[in-house]
Amino acid sequence: MKTNQILPGSFGLPILGETLSFVFDRDFYKKRYRQYGPMFKTHLIDKSTVVMARTEALEFILSSHILLLHTFYAAIIGR
């Protein structure tokens, strides 16, 4: 995934999102991994969620957004 691409995935229905599929479909993650790849967005229990299914996805986030993550973490701990 390149840094200028929009994250693939689906937010599903308003409010519920894909929560029902997540709860009742044992292959929820496998299906989305096959459809969208190792990193995708979804909406579970009224929360937007990013799923990173492989180490490459985490490496992408850490290498391309480390400053953003550092700023977010600093804001949380108050530094």
Radius of gyration of the CA atoms of the chain, in A: 14
Residue 50 pLDDT level (bands cut at 50, 70, 90) = confident
Mean pLDDT estimate for the chain: 82
Q: pLDDT value at position 24?
A: 97
Question: What is the rounded CA–CA span in Å between residue 3 and residue 72?
Answer: 19
pLDDT band of 21, cuts 50, 70, 90: very high
Q: What whole-number distance in Å separates Cα of residue 42 and Cα of residue 49?
A: 5
Contact 40, 9 (CB under 8 A): yes
Q: What is the pLDDT of residue 26?
A: 95
Could you give the CA distance from residue 79 to residue 68 in angstroms, rounded to a whole number?
14
